[in-house]
Amino acid sequence: MSSSNSRCAACKFLRRKCSQDCVFAPYFPPDQPQKFANVHKVFGASNVAKLLNDLRPVQREDAVNSLAYEADARLRDPVYGCVGLISILQDQLKQVQGDLINAKKELANYRTSAVLPYNMLPMLGLCLNQDHGAMPLVMHDHPQKQHLMEAQQLAVAEWEQQEMLRPCKQEQQRRV
């Protein structure tokens, strides 16, 4: 029981006396009646009691938090529950990962155009565009040029990374 006179939210909801060994009391305090109401509505008090009794005491709080989250999600979205939210987040993650890949490609194009001499751009299959720097040409019929361009972009990115780290390495060597 949570205190000497106060029943836990589960016992209040179920309209029963809250005993000292109430399995619900530590996890459903009297000031959180909606938490138990949602868990009861989705899973049932008997099932929750059985689950909690089957778990070790150190696992019970995590189980109750999970049940409460899943019950809230199921009540908000009766068809998909928390799986619907997971799907939405996975779709957003895929979109952001795609945006990141595209941004890295665009950045590599800008870096390539900034480092390479102007007369090398056509050899790598790049054309100079006033607004966007060096842009890749469509090379459906020249896969070797495409591979060369990608290798060059990676090499330039690696070189730029080394150039950015060079002052730090020099400072570390001076300190040693």
Q: Are 13 and 35 in contact (CB under 8 A)?
A: no
pLDDT at 145: 66
Which tokens is 53 given?
């009794």
CA distance 88 to 29: 32
pLDDT at 134: 47
Per-residue pLDDT tens digits for 142-173: 666 666 777 777 777 777 777 777 776 676 67
Per-residue pLDDT tens digits for 92-139: 999 999 999 988 888 888 776 666 555 555 555 555 554 444 445 444
Q: Of 90, 127, 91, 101, whose CA–CA distance to 112 is shortest?
A: 127
Per-residue pLDDT tens digits for 36-53: 999 999 999 999 999 999
CA distance 115 to 121: 10
pLDDT at 79: 94
* Confidence tier at 5 by pLDDT (50, 70, 90): low
For the chain, what is the radius of gyration of the CA atoms? 31
pLDDT of 3 over the 50 cut: no
